[in-house]
Chains A and B, each alone.
Chain A
Amino acid sequence: MKILVAVKRVIDYAVKIRVKPDKSGVETNNVKMSMNPFCEIALEEALRIRESGNASEVVIVSMGGAQCTDALRTGLAMGADRAIHVSTDQYLHPLSVSKLLKSLVAIENPGLLLLGKQAIDDDCNQTGQMVAGLLKWPQGTFASKVVLDKAKSTATVEREVDGGLETLCLDLPAVITSDLRLNQPRYATLPNIMKAKSKVIKKVTPEELNVEIKPDIEIVEVNEPPKRKSGVKVSSVDELIDKLKNEARVL
Chain B
Amino acid sequence: ISTLVLAEHEGGLVKPSSMSSVAAARAISEENPISILLGGTGPTLQEAASHAASFHPSISQVLIADSEKLKHPLAEPWADLIHLVQGKGGYSHIIAASTSFGKNVMPRAAALLDVSPITDVTTISGPQLFVRPIYAGNALCTIRYAGSDPCMLTIRPTAFPLSSMTSGRVSDTAAISQVDLSTFSEESNGKSRWLNHTSQETECPDLGNARIIITGGRGLKNAENFKLIEKLAHKLGAAVGATRAAVDAGYCPNELQVGQTGKIVAPELYIAFGVSGAIQHLAGMKDSKTIVAVNKDEDAAIFQVADYGLVGDLFQVIPELLEKLPEKK
Cα A139 to Cα B76 in complex, Å, equals 8
Give the contacting residue for A123; candidates B134, B145, B290, B308; CB below 8 A: B134
Kindly provide the distance from the CB of A41 to the nearest chain B CB, expressed in whole angstroms.
Answer: 11
Cα A118 to Cα B103 in complex, Å, equals 11
Flag if A217 contacts B111 (CB, 8 Å): no
Q: Give me the interface of B with A, judged by CB distance under 8 Å.
A: 73-76, 79, 99-101, 103-112, 114-120, 129, 133-148, 187-188, 191-200, 208, 212, 236, 244, 247-248, 253-255, 260-261, 263, 268-269, 279-280, 286, 289-292, 303-311, 317, 320-321, 324-326
Flag if A171 contacts B192 (CB, 8 Å): yes
Given contacts A217-B147, A238-B324, 12 further A-B contacts (CB under 8 A): A95-B115, A136-B187, A139-B76, A161-B255, A164-B198, A164-B200, A168-B193, A217-B116, A219-B143, A220-B142, A231-B291, A237-B321
Cα A138 to Cα B75 in complex, Å, equals 8
Binary per-residue interface labels of chain A (203-230) against chain B in the complex, 1 for a CB within 8 Å, 0 otherwise: 0000000000001111111111100101
Determine chain B's interface SS by DSSP, over half rule: mixed
Give the contacting residue for A133; candidates B112, B263, B268; CB below 8 A: B112
Residues in chain B near residue A250, CB distance under 8 A: 212, 268-269, 289-290
What are 16 A-B contacts defined by CB distance under 8 Å? Answer: A98-B111, A122-B134, A125-B107, A129-B104, A133-B108, A165-B199, A180-B244, A219-B141, A222-B134, A223-B140, A225-B137, A231-B309, A234-B310, A241-B325, A244-B292, A251-B269
Q: Give me the interface of A with B, judged by CB distance under 8 Å.
A: 11, 13, 16-17, 19, 26, 93-95, 98, 117-118, 120-127, 129-134, 136-142, 144, 156, 159-171, 174, 179-181, 215-225, 228, 230-238, 240-241, 243-244, 248, 250-251
Give the contacting residue for A130; candidates B108, B303, B304; CB below 8 A: B108
Flag if B107 contacts A162 (CB, 8 Å): no
Flag if A123 contacts B135 (CB, 8 Å): yes
Flag if A237 contacts B310 (CB, 8 Å): yes
Measured CB to CB, the nearest residue on chain B to A163 is B199
Cα A4 to Cα B206 in complex, Å, equals 38
Cα A122 to Cα B309 in complex, Å, equals 31
Residues in chain B near residue A98, CB distance under 8 A: 111
Flag if A120 contacts B136 (CB, 8 Å): yes
Assess A129 versus B108: contact at CB under 8 Å? Given A26-B135, A161-B100, A234-B308: yes
Cα A163 to Cα B100 in complex, Å, equals 9
Flag if A179 contacts B261 (CB, 8 Å): yes
Flag if B197 contacts A139 (CB, 8 Å): no
Cα A153 to Cα B260 in complex, Å, equals 34
Give the contacting residue for A233; candidates B198, B253, B303; CB below 8 A: B303
**The 6 A-B residue pairs with the shortest CB-CB distance in the complex, in nearest-first order:** A216-B147, A164-B199, A133-B111, A138-B192, A129-B107, A130-B111
